[in-house]
Amino acid sequence: MILTVTLNTALDLTYGVPELVPHASHRVSDISERPGGKGLNVARVLAALGHETVVTGFAGGATGAVLRELLADLSPRDSISAPADVTSGPEPESAPVPGSATASASVPATAPAPTRTTDASAPAPVSAPAPAPAPITDALVTVAGNTRRTIAVVARATGDTTQLNEPGPLVSADEWSALLARYEELLAGADAVALCGSLPPGIHVGAYAELVRSARAAGVPVLLDTGGEPLRRGIAARPDLIKPNADELAQLTGSRDPLRASRDARRRGAHAVVASLGPEGMLALTPDGVWQASPPAKVLGNPTGAGDSAVAGVLSGLVEGLSWPERLRRAVALSAATVLSPTAGDFDRAAYEELLPRVGVEDHTTAA
């Protein structure tokens, strides 16, 4: 089982408009809702790849109830028992964009029309059958506050996306303690854990460092995907892997050179660094070597969730024992296939299967 932690979950709303014009009224052509936040997006892709996944974090209020209802609809079955909720109350975010200017005619740009409960996977080519979707188990902790919403407005004519993110609910000390207890229980059955996204109000800035230390004490490989001061504190706890984008890496280290910045990040405590480089793909600096993976073509579409799909690619590859080049190849192909899907957290299965063998991976170990 793979565990994902999303402390600041969200109900992702995607509004499609023909064209986005400032200071104008718009008629929305299509609307979709998804359970979101970075870790939930990661879990959705992991499940589509066939990995049983448990999600924890916080959810509350009317928005949280909708999120949990949609999350339940994504899972084909519940084969893992989540611990009983220990709180009272009702039960039920910078991404690697492998290109943003033009679309390659050789890359399929089709995706299922967004609906409220569309599954993240689509039929794969006969030569490469898709794995059966695996369960996503809800182990979220209920909080008194209302889960936030994120709103993506997509101009269908260009694929450009405008994103609006609410801050999230205020989390109490008791609610944080409940999350820690839930997390410790779940680590016992986890093969790997991903700590993803921003911190909601009320959570101390060293929260991720605390969660990293718990995972390391339990012997569970831990990936950290956040930015700013939570990343700075978290990296000092020595996570197995961090996945910053170029801006987050520069903010952490003060260097705009990805290779130099990744070296600095490893000195600060990260065992391995996988950096998202936008249209240039991804760079991995690891104890085993240095590689850069690049997409075969630029793609046009909605980049929301592309970084989360990359995390799912790297984490699933780790659990499956893939080499670093193959982990990067999968991550970049998933990221590009997510750009081609109009809804946050989905990826275009046909595009993924077509792109995967065409992602280029270069070995920079000697140069580094």
Give the residue extent of every domain in the chain: 2-363
CA nearest 34: which of 45, 18, 19? 45
Residue 28: other Cβ atoms inside 10 A: 11
Task: Report how far apart, in Å, the C-alpha atoms of 343 and of each of 28, 297, 336 are.
Answer: 14, 21, 13
- Please give the CATH topology (third level) of the domain spanning 2-363: UDP-N-acetylmuramoyl-L-alanine:D-glutamate ligase (3.40.1190)
Residue 182's identity, in one-letter code, is R
CA distance 327 to 310: 9
Q: Is 26 helix (H, G, I), strand (E, B) or coil?
A: coil
Q: What is the pLDDT of residues 196-213, one digit of tens each?
A: 999 999 999 999 999 999
Q: What is the pLDDT of residues 73-120, one digit of tens each?
A: 876 533 333 343 433 333 333 333 333 333 332 333 333 333 333 333
Q: What is the pLDDT of residues 147-179, one digit of tens each?
A: 999 998 988 888 788 889 999 999 999 999 999
β-partners of residue 136 are 53
* Element holding 62 (H helix, E strand): helix 61-74
pLDDT above 90: percentage of residues in the chain? 68
Considering the entire predicted model, what is its pTM?
A: 0.82
- What mean pLDDT is predicted for residues 313-342? 94
- What mean pLDDT is predicted for residues 24-28? 93
Q: What is the DSSP letter of 58?
A: E
State residue 297's pLDDT score.
Answer: 86
Tell me which of 94 and 66 has the higher pLDDT. Answer: 66
Residue 57 and residue 140 in contact, taking contact as beta carbons nearer than 8 Å = yes
CA distance 58 to 298: 36
List, in order, residues 6 or more apart from 75 with CB less than 8 Å away. 47, 135, 136, 137
CA distance 277 to 284: 11
CA distance 262 to 253: 8
Tell me which of 336 and 302 has the higher pLDDT. Answer: 336
Task: Report how far apart, in Å, the C-alpha atoms of 279 and of each of 102, 282, 299, 301, 324 are.
Answer: 11, 9, 9, 13, 20
State residue 104's pLDDT score.
Answer: 33
- What mean pLDDT is predicted for residues 235-240? 98
- What mean pLDDT is predicted for residues 273-301? 91
Residue 305 and residue 95 in contact, taking contact as beta carbons nearer than 8 Å = yes
Residue by residue, DSSP assigns 160-218 as -EEEEE---PPPPHHHHHHHHHHHHHHHTT-SEEEEESPPPTTS-TTHHHHHHHHHHHT
Q: What is the pLDDT of residues 120-155, one digit of tens each?
A: 333 333 334 677 888 899 999 999 999 999 998 988
Residue 297 and residue 106 in contact, taking contact as beta carbons nearer than 8 Å = yes
